[in-house]
């Protein structure tokens, strides 16, 4: 696999040269998405985070490392990706969290924000704000539950030495540095979005059907993928589960953005964990969907809720859910390998 990586950019360049019109269209779409949505929504939060770090935010909780890590997890889930990657790497840089443990937590905390789920997917694409509830419970509830074993594991935090947060700097210097570094981060994110949208436009026309095209769009870029999946003709319960699973995965674009914010991240293991996490969230949403009667008239009665919740298909999905749950746990919080001494 590693031998093929240097050849991949050349193959991609050839594909772009063979489809210049599609590549240009994708690049324009990616640039428009970044400039109109991502840039104005993420830049203020990036500046605030950088400014807080420059002014010594990490020093305020130096005596409570687990509380600080819990706060980072909570704020990451509330603010959305790639802030999770930025906050975790800040802990790595100041010495209280190892890069390996940060990489184990990153697939859980680097998720789309509740604002994206509510405004874009539920309200704009599906035209039903009530659908936000089963999606939010599935994606953020799963992230919190899976974070508990990692958070309270005795080896999660680095106790090899005392963490030394970066010293605070004067306010004027902190503001200038926060804006400069945040703008650089936004340029990196914009490059990731533009690159992925360009590849998506080149590959999509050769796919056989609309479902395959939607699956590829969801794998590549979450915004484009959500719009394509929402346009598919499928039952609402399955469509919502597909959408929230795709949102939990995040797509290649968010993975590259996380790599820019967390330079020590191993991309392929991260993508594998995110795929498993997305599948788990989608299954949970499918099982919990009947418990939210307001989302659809088909589930208006309590008897209908109980019947569908206890159906044979739901029991089968519960078994798959348990297997996926254990698989993700083994990948994310498995014991570290130690050298055995005779």
Over 50: is that where the pLDDT of 93 sits?
yes
Over 70: is that where the pLDDT of 26 sits?
yes
Quick one: what percent of the chain has pLDDT higher than 90?
0
Burial 46-84 (b: 16+ CB within 10 A, else e): bbebbbebbbebbeebeeebeebbbebbeebbebbbbbb
Cis peptide before 82 (omega within 30 of 0): yes
Over 60: is that where the pLDDT of 66 sits?
yes
Number of C-alpha atoms within 13 angstroms, CB side, residue 46?
Answer: 25
Over 80: is that where the pLDDT of 151 sits?
no
- pTM, whole model, 2 decimals? 0.77
d(CA 210, CA 220): 15
Highest mean pLDDT among 57-61, 96-100, 245-249, 321-325: 245-249
Higher-confidence position of 327 and 261: 261
Please state the φ and ψ torsions of residue 203, each to the nearest 5 degrees: -85, -35
Over 70: is that where the pLDDT of 335 sits?
no
Higher-confidence position of 193 and 159: 193
């Amino acid at each position: 696999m590693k031998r093929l990586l240097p050849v991949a950019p050349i193959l991609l360049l050839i594909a772009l040269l063979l489809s210049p019109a599609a590549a240009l269209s994708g690049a324009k779409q990616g640039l428009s998405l970044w400039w109109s949505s991502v840039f104005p929504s993420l830049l203020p939060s990036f500046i605030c985070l950088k400014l807080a770090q420059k002014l010594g935010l990490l020093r305020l909780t130096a005596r409570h490392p687990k509380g600080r890590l819990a706060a980072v997890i909570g704020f990451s889930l509330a603010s959305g990706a790639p802030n999770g990657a930025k906050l975790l790497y800040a802990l790595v840089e100041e010495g209280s969290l190892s890069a390996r443990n940060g990489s184990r937590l990153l697939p859980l905390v680097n998720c789309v924000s509740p604002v994206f789920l509510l405004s874009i997917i539920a309200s704009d694409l599906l035209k039903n704000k009530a659908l936000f509830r089963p999606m939010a419970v599935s994606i953020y509830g799963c992230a919190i539950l899976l974070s508990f074993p990692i958070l309270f594991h005795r080896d999660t935090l680095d106790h090899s030495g005392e963490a030394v947060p970066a010293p605070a700097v004067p306010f004027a210097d902190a503001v200038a540095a926060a804006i400069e570094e945040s703008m650089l981060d936004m340029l990196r994110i914009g490059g990731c979005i533009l690159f992925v949208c360009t590849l998506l436009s080149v590959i999509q026309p050769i796919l056989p059907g609309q479902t395959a095209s939607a699956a590829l769009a969801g794998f590549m870029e979450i915004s484009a993928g959500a719009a394509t999946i929402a346009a598919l003709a499928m039952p609402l319960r399955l469509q919502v589960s597909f959408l929230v699973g795709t949102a939990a995965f995040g797509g290649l674009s968010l993975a590259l953005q996380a790599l820019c914010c967390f330079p020590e991240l191993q991309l392929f293991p991260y993508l594998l964990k995110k795929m498993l996490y997305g599948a788990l969230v989608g299954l949970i949403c499918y099982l919990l969907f009947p418990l939210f009667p307001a989302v659809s008239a088909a589930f208006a009665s309590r008897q209908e809720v109980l019947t569908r919740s206890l159906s044979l298909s739901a029991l089968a999905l519960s078994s798959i859910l348990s297997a996926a749950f254990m698989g993700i746990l083994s990948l994310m919080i498995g014991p570290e390998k130690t050298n055995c001494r005779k």
